[in-house]
Structure 1
Amino acid sequence: MIGVILFVCVYIYSPNSVNSYVMTNYNDSVVRRVVYPLTSASYGTTPELCLKDIFADGQLVRQYTVLCDRTQKHTCSGYLAYSTSAQAIFLVFRGSSSTEQVNEEFLETVTTFPISFPLGGRVNPYFFKALQIILTSGLEQDLIYITKLLPGFSLWVSGHSLGAGLASLAAGHIAYKGYVPPSQITLITFGQPRTGNYVFAKTIDKVIPNTWRVTHRKDLVPVIVPLYAHHNREVWYNNSMAPGQPFVICGTDDDQECVMSGSGHNWDDHSNYFNVDSYFAVNGCKNIPH
């Protein structure tokens, strides 16, 4: 969803000491105590509550919720925010809001040819069209304004599930447009489905090196859409993700030894990250998992 200091124990309690941080090395504390709560907050209608719980000076620019598919029944959503003390801009996307929306995503994915992505490769048509609708609803204009207003700020882009796919495309779009230098972008996703083809995945690897795909145990969503490919770098927790539990930085884009391994993939591991439900921060995040 965030240019924050890596040493979250300092950053959380003294946000004014933070300086435009980019996560070049994965840090569990930052992701657990900052990025995931902000991502969870996207499932609600008041993400500023969680934002203010983490950054006293956090400012919500806008939340963008739009009808986003051919049924004209389902919405996609994201929000843009920033913290001047952290020198950080946050772009966060919500996941699917219903089983019916998940079914529509799958149907369009398997019946529609992947769409050409300007940065490179081809991508999921549902995700691409949804992002375009969000961008034209005001996000594009606000991105241009905020990135000019706050030059040098880091941009952290995040999302869960469908939101993870949108985050990946949004980060690529921003890099392509040049709103923020790719070296200032950190992309962190949770339970991301494969979002594009091999060329797209390799393009993201090359253009946005500070990218982390967090996966949980036997999460079903990262293993579906077999004709598409994942980009780097997967961070796999083969446990409940409770504080202090280990993780693995996986070796390849579709590492068969990480979330792809074995059988028994399920939805429970998809909806629960860091030992809390994906909706846990919709009314604020004072109870951040430690």
Structure 2
Amino acid sequence: MLTGGGSATRNIAIPDMDSTLLLPDTPIVPQDTLDLYAAYSGAAYNISDNWNCGTECQHPGTEGTTVIYHRNNDTFSSVGFIATNANNKNIIVSFRGTAGLGDWLENYLLDPIDWLENINGFSVVSGFLTGYLVVSVEVVQIVVDLSTKFPDYKIVATGHSLGGSRAALFVADMTTKYPNIASQMKLFTYGQAKCGNKVFAKYMDSLGIRIFREVNKGDIVPHLPWDITQYVHFGTEAWVDFSGKAMFCKSGNYSHCSAGISPLSYSFVDHTTYKDL
């Protein structure tokens, strides 16, 4: 079972990450960068056609954001937005996390499904993919057009919970179809579940782009689905431990981060209390 944030609880703040613990040769990212894209992830819960969604849209660094496209599909709850920011030269592609009945139903569709036929053995969680494919053609085309218009901008995919998994699928989709713009892409997710098999994870790690997954304390969702032989994580995990400190673990070393905690410490509350989200 996958769970997501609700607007009533998401603004509870965790302690500041007052120090950073590092493993050798592990990529790191400043806290303010993690917080910035957390705000963009949170904005997907309340966004409209304008950059006006409450505290997330007032986060430092989001000034100058212009919403280009706001999507809300009624069949599968594929909600989110595409925006640009001239100040930091970003194209932001944000996917909303679990919020309604449609999202909950998709979270239960955990069977693997083959995807991207040009990569042998590539499979992902069917429920995550179904909702993404509903909007993928339109979203990909808009981002391609924006990347042509703004060739010096970075394309930042982001999302919380279910939204983080869909953001990862978007990155996989874009980089296989348009490898010439792969170097422009970044991925920042928050409380993301495992969304693909080992072939999928290996592909994502091979891209050589900035991929960071923030995990808050004992958040249960990043440990799901339970089958560790079928689904695995990728990228660099930024784990905020129980004292509020940050540990960065790259792919293959997750046991030093959230994968090393006891299942007795897993928490749904920690899934809904990400800082700046």
Bin the TM-score by the shorter chain.
Answer: 0.7 to 0.9
Range with greater deviation from structure 2 (174-183 or 255-264) = 174-183
Matches within 5 A, 1:163-174: 163-174=163-174
Aligned residues: 239
Q: 2:238 aligns with which of 219, 229, 235?
A: 235
1:273 and 1:85 mapped to 2: Cα distance?
A: 25
User: Which residue in the other structure is 2:83 paired with?
Assistant: 81
Deviations 1:232-290 (A, max 9, x none): 211100136xxxx420011434722321221231110001112x5x4xxxxxxxxxxxx
SS of the residue corresponding to residue 78 of structure 2 reads strand
User: Which residue in the other structure is 1:158 paired with?
Assistant: 158
SS of the residue corresponding to residue 272 of structure 1 reads coil
User: Which residue in the other structure is 2:105 paired with?
Assistant: 104
Report the CA distance between 1:89 and its aligned residue: 0.7
SS of the residue corresponding to residue 147 of structure 1 reads helix
1:65 aligns with 2:72: yes
1:162 and 1:262 mapped to 2: Cα distance?
A: 23
**What amino acid is the match of 1:146?**
L
Q: 2:93 aligns with which of 83, 88, 91?
A: 91
2:144 and 2:251 mapped to 1: Cα distance?
A: 34
Report the CA distance between 1:101 and its aligned residue: 4.2
1:93 and 1:36 mapped to 2: Cα distance?
A: 11
Aligned 8 A contact 2:171 2:187 in 1 = yes
User: Which residue in the other structure is 2:262 paired with?
Assistant: 262
Q: Would the alpha carbon gap of residues 235 and 31 (structure 1) be closer, same or farther in structure 2, given more than 3 Å must change?
A: same
Aligned 8 A contact 1:117 1:123 in 2 = no
2:140 and 2:182 mapped to 1: Cα distance?
A: 17
Matches within 5 A, 1:5-154: 25-32=28-35, 34-46=36-48, 48-49=51-52, 50-51=56-57, 54-69=61-76, 75-98=77-100, 100-101=101-102, 103-109=104-110, 112-118=111-117, 120=119, 121-136=122-137, 138-154=138-154
Q: Would the alpha carbon gap of residues 68 and 215 (structure 1) be closer, same or farther in structure 2, given more than 3 Å must change?
A: farther
**What amino acid is the match of 2:224?**
I
2:245 and 2:58 mapped to 1: Cα distance?
A: 29
1:254 and 1:103 mapped to 2: Cα distance?
A: 31
RMSD: 2.2
2:157 and 2:185 mapped to 1: Cα distance?
A: 7
Q: Would the alpha carbon gap of residues 102 and 85 (structure 1) be closer, same or farther in structure 2, given more than 3 Å must change?
A: closer
Q: Would the alpha carbon gap of residues 96 and 62 (structure 1) be closer, same or farther in structure 2, given more than 3 Å must change?
A: same
Report the CA distance between 1:179 and its aligned residue: 6.9
Q: Would the alpha carbon gap of residues 28 and 231 (structure 1) be closer, same or farther in structure 2, given more than 3 Å must change?
A: same
Q: Which 5+ residue runs of structure 1 have no aligned equivalent? A: 1-23, 70-74, 279-290
2:87 and 2:193 mapped to 1: Cα distance?
A: 33
Q: What's the TM-score once normalised by structure 1's chain length?
A: 0.75
Q: What's the TM-score once normalised by structure 2's chain length?
A: 0.79
1:251 and 1:146 mapped to 2: Cα distance?
A: 31
Aligned 8 A contact 2:108 2:127 in 1 = no
Report the CA distance between 1:209 and its aligned residue: 3.0
Identity %: 20
Aligned 8 A contact 1:147 1:179 in 2 = no
SS of the residue corresponding to residue 108 of structure 1 reads coil
Report the CA distance between 1:102 and its aligned residue: 5.3
1:253 and 1:92 mapped to 2: Cα distance?
A: 27
User: Which residue in the other structure is 2:209 paired with?
Assistant: 209
SS of the residue corresponding to residue 67 of structure 2 reads strand
SS of the residue corresponding to residue 129 of structure 1 reads helix
Q: Would the alpha carbon gap of residues 118 and 192 (structure 1) be closer, same or farther in structure 2, given more than 3 Å must change?
A: farther
Q: Which 5+ residue runs of structure 2 have no aligned equivalent? A: 1-26
Ranked by relative contact order (alpha carbons within 8 Å, sequence separation 6 or more), the top structure is 2
